[in-house]
Structure 1
């Protein structure tokens, strides 16, 4: 017989891995219709109402559930990112037009707000997400640019099929896909100050726990 740990405090939700850690999994609030942040923004603009999106945390190996947030109308809680011992959530409150970047410390079960930004600081929520490290709020607007919203403001020209992977200090790592005719990907490293390409190579890059990265 296999050993099965029954997760208490949440049901009818499939745990998703959080990149960069083997300790934590994210589970979407049961009953929440799946939609991304941009779709939620459209729903709110069209209806003046969004029923809310929330994520819970599940700790490995004990299966303990942490619930820093409760689902609330017009508030979207994005899947968290792992950031050197704690977790950061991107929270957007459409009714107050605020973007909140929060920090959750599991050992203390402590949630705090790092910064609040006006939703007007972004054109829209398309591909708005947190990256690390250091903690960065960025946006890929599908317009040929990667835009850093916080902690600094910057626009960097990128290729049409480039998508952000993560930030490491003053370097931005992107994945670029091709289909000519076979599908393949490149890893592109850009300087955050100039946007210039530092390195470009074929393959895939995966972020693993304990600051380990695999290049395939």
Structure 2
């Protein structure tokens, strides 16, 4: 298994609990904190992770900001914040990860994007743009880092309620995807682990979303805004 450097910013208590759970089950996990909107902190994160657990062989860019905005009322601070966390931070973390990656360790990067990269809508305007940019970066990074490092992405659908949803609204959203349910968090992790170990796969994005990206009914018909 992996020795894990668990990154957190606002969710430090949950990250510490996860590290403790991993340790109790015989694994190794250390907490590494950083605000991904602060570039100075981002530039220290890979070095901190290496100091905590040793050379890294897998980078999972999972953190993200998911804020509501719309074209016509865009605010530059919202736009800049989401691009800083959802695009800039993953790119510079990938750069630092690549610099420390050791030959022969089959290093790889997995970016967590969103099924919206396959099913564009104008909702969550800045978020959608930033995740699509990260999805494009998955391909261009795979090109730039081949053959030494593989780069892929996972595009989740409705996995956990957003801060704007109650349990009923989330259940309604998940029930409307083609398979009738969204993925469990463990299924996202399974996809990440598959891509981490699939040595002939690079530059691809796997949707793990209950088929949400192929759903053809629009929000005006479903009544679901997320």
With the length of structure 2 as denominator, give the TM-score of the two structures.
0.29
Q: TM-score, normalised by structure 1?
A: 0.30
More strand by share: 1
More helix by share: 2
| Greater relative contact order (CA < 8 Å, ≥ 6 in sequence) | 2
